Chains A and B, each alone.
Chain A
Amino acid sequence: MLTTTRQGRLRTGVRTAPGSPYAAVCVAFDRGYLDDPASHVGLAHLYEHLWFLRAPADLTLEWGATHDHATVLHHVCPPDEVPVVLAALADRLADCCAPSPVAAHGIRSALRLIELERRGGQERRLSGFPRRQIARLLRADPQFEPTAVAPAGPELVELVDGFAHGVAVAVCVAGPEPGWSAGDLRRSLGGAVPGAGRPRPGPPVGGAWQFRAPEGNACAAAWILPPDPATAAAAWVLGGLIDRGRPPTGLHWLSGRVLSPRGTEPVRGGLLYALAAGLDPRRPLDLAPELLLPVLAAGADDLAAVRDTLPDSAPDPGELAALDALSLLHGSPRFEAVLAATRQVDHAALLRFVDLLAAATAAAGTDALVGR
């Protein structure tokens, strides 16, 4: 199903996704918005926009996403057009990884679009998960603004030019019949991504934070969990149970899967897991892991029903290619390992998961309670 290679700073993955009518190619750089320099927050998001301005600009369906520790570029095409797309992406990668400054005009255009995007986002402000606060905690900077527009100037041009230098890059293909291996893919791209990657720091695995959500009487908590399939599977199943049941007494609402439909989000060296809840005003502002215990009181039928529906929401090739790329960059478990582990999730496994959260919360102590 999946073959991978690692050489220097290039990682490649090729996955067969039987039955998929289309193919996806994901390029991911091991730099996200949490890695932005303090002087130029917004750099990774800018880089994401600039990717699509690089030649050849007329390619296929493509879009990007800036993650905590990765800049992810998605490209979707008919299976028979993968070679054309890969050849074009090799040119773009070579352009990124060689000293060839991007045009200042491109940077100006991208910065203006990012500013418009930011203003447009204010109109359709989403209620719910406090993603910005989580980013601030992981970055240890209460003023951090993950959607900031990087300040323009000559320094920015230099930072953009150097963005990918020494950074690990993953290129992953998922499609019905790729017809080649990860080794073939590496050989076709190797010249475009020379050199070795520099290791980058990630957040502490085992970290735990609780904080006040920005709107309403809500509370949220975030953890960095060890990147093993069993933990990821428990988080995914628990998310399904939370969605299926009513919120535990004392909570107006509870959400445990907003970070990703798969329950957790890969970050460098770990898995980010978060919960958010609307609290009864009479209750202290604290989202203790014990509040999850009532969710676990769900019957065996509910647990089986959740487990049975998870394969139905299997990722499409675009998401699979991105998951593979993040797995290669950050050491997060492969999707099929997580899916297989969900079949083993029983009541005891969920209790162990809640214990893991509780232990991390206790270890973090009161310093982890932010916003009281």
Chain B
Amino acid sequence: MSAGRGSVATDGTVGTLDLRLAAGTLRCFATGEAQPRLQVRTGCVPGEDVSLRLVHDALVLPRLRDCFTRLAPTRPVTDHERLVGVELTVPQLDAGQLLDQAAEALASGRQAVSAARADDLDLDRVIAVLAAVRTRGSHDLATLATLGSAPGGPVHQVAGARLTARQVTERLIDGGRAVIADAPAQADRVAGAAVLTATHGPAPAPAAVESEAVGGPEQDLPIRLPRPAAPPRWLEVESPRAELAYLQLRRAIPQVATVRALAAALVANQARFGAYSSVVDDAIRSELAASYLWDCVVDLTRGEFLMLAAPAVEDADRVARLVLAEHAGGAALSRRAVATARRIVRSALLRRIGPAQLVLTTQSEVQRAGLPIEFTASLLAAVQDVGHEEVAAARDADDSPTPAVTLVLPAARPR
């Protein structure tokens, strides 16, 4: 699975190039594929204002696609159906060329933002359409309402009031317009930086560029996870399209300083809140049958666990309370529970480095989170190695704040 320093393992965990330039970062990983693949994402830093992201997607992403289409046909990279970047298969990796292309795409994007005018009706329409499309589904609506409610965000919430989907959409549009009104000053922030992640097969890593050392599975690898501002403790949004309630609970990953500590935290979290066979999953899906959906996603770019449920409206509070109660207390973890949780965390990680396309997505997330190139290989080794006592200790030492709850509810429908 993971390989030591200098290994030629081709499972997509071994980085062969880690380059940071003004335009962004480029990392390469060895896989068994015949042709190199490249994923390019641009954008703002985690925790950045969602209005900036809206303008970014309207003005910068099309230029990113145009620039890289000159190298090879591009395929869209999406996140919950939202376009977030491009992917392409290239004949060979030329690091200098790729970073030049990224610099050109960003410069073009910055120029477009600087030249944007508040009275440009076409641009205004694009912003409005993007905001409307992205607040249609319950998941995206909950995400944008939550992230937009961060301090300084466009979705201002009056304490205790329930937002409507229309309000969220309108405030996002207003936020986008405010960014455009101040476009020249905002251009750098809107364009952000480029994150280029590549895989290559038998061919060697890009030459003629100074390469940093290739890392092995060092379990004490120091790490620092991003820590954006905490979302509102409780947020409710009404959606005219929702059929069931939809819950998003955001729980900060406990503060950890090494990959091994993170591995213990991940296994403990899986045993308590994970999507399969956890305390919460058993209660919500097996005992109460309150939600067919229970998922717990690790978001490294925001340093948080994102938990998802789709209960009936009358069960939504009960599901949220159950999660909050487990966070506040809960029983100690048995050896069997830890063994199962470790198997599940390992399986999930291994699946994320299976197909080369997933390698790109996984390593891009690591890269955007600012984590070291050796992170994935080290984490896999640590998860396999971490024992019951360490996991139990990590669970007891978990001092993360109370999870933030966002609840989407079906709006009352006209008779």
Number of A-B contacts (CB under 8 A): 89
Query: How many residues of B sit at the interface, in one of the four size bands?
Result: 35 or more
- Smallest CB gap from B341: residue in A: A58
Among the 9-residue stretches A120-128, A234-242, A245-253, A340-348, the one with 4 or more Cβ atoms under 8 Å from chain B is A120-128
Cross-chain contact B32 with A78 (CB below 8 angstroms): no
Q: List 28 A-B contacts (CB under 8 A).
A: A19-B11, A19-B32, A22-B347, A22-B350, A22-B351, A57-B277, A57-B282, A58-B340, A59-B277, A61-B344, A61-B348, A62-B276, A78-B343, A78-B384, A109-B286, A110-B289, A112-B289, A116-B244, A116-B292, A116-B312, A119-B244, A120-B243, A120-B293, A120-B310, A122-B243, A123-B243, A123-B244, A316-B351
- Specify which chain A residues have a CB less than 8 angstroms from the CB of B350 in the assembled complex: 21-22, 78
Q: How far is the CA of A61 from the CA of B349 in the complex (A)?
A: 11
Chain B residues near A84 (CB, 8 Å)? 343
B346 within 8 A of A: yes
The distance from the CB of B296 to the nearest CB of chain A, in whole angstroms, is 12
Q: Mark B255-298, 1 if CB is under 8 A from A, else 0.
A: 00000000000000000000011000010011101011100000
Instruction: List residues of chain A with CB within 8 A of the CB of B336.
Output: 58
B354 at the interface (CB under 8 A from A): yes
- Contacts A116-B244, A123-B244; is A22 near B292 (CB within 8 Å)? no
Task: Please give the distance in Å from A107's CB to the nearest CB on chain B.
Answer: 10
Does B135 touch A at the CB level, under 8 Å?
Answer: no
- Neighbouring A residues of B292 by C-beta, 8 Å: 113-114, 116-117, 120
A81 at the interface (CB under 8 A from B): yes
Determine whether the beta carbon of B347 is less than 8 Å from that of A76.
yes
Interface residues in A, total, Cβ within 8 A:
32
Q: From residue A119, how far is it (CB to closest CB) to chain B in Å?
A: 5
Report the bound CA distance from A313 to B164 in whole Å.
42
Q: Does B242 contact A (CB under 8 A)?
A: yes
B residues sitting closer than 8 Å to A (CB atoms) are 1, 10-11, 32-33, 137-138, 241-244, 276-277, 282, 285-287, 289, 291-293, 310-312, 336-337, 340, 343-344, 346-348, 350-351, 353-355, 384
Most buried by B among A61, A114, A122, A312: A61
Min CB–CB distance A46 → chain B (angstroms): 13
Across-interface contacts of A3 in B (CB, < 8 A): none
Do residues A123 and B241 form an inter-chain contact, with CB atoms below 8 A? yes
Q: Give complex CA distance A202, B350 in Å.
A: 37
Residues in B with CB closer than 8 Å to A188 are none
Determine the chain A residues whose CB is within 8 A of the CB of B293 once the complex forms: 120
Interchain nearest-CB distance for B386 vs A (Å): 14
The complex places the Cα of A178 from the Cα of B285 at a distance, in Å, of 33
CB nearest to A117 among chain B residues: B292
Chain A min CB distance to B217 (Å)? 13
- A76 vs B348: C-alpha distance when bound (angstroms): 9
Given A78-B346, A113-B292; A61-B354 close (CB under 8 Å): no
Given A114-B292, A120-B292, residue A77 in contact with residue B347 (CB < 8 A) = yes
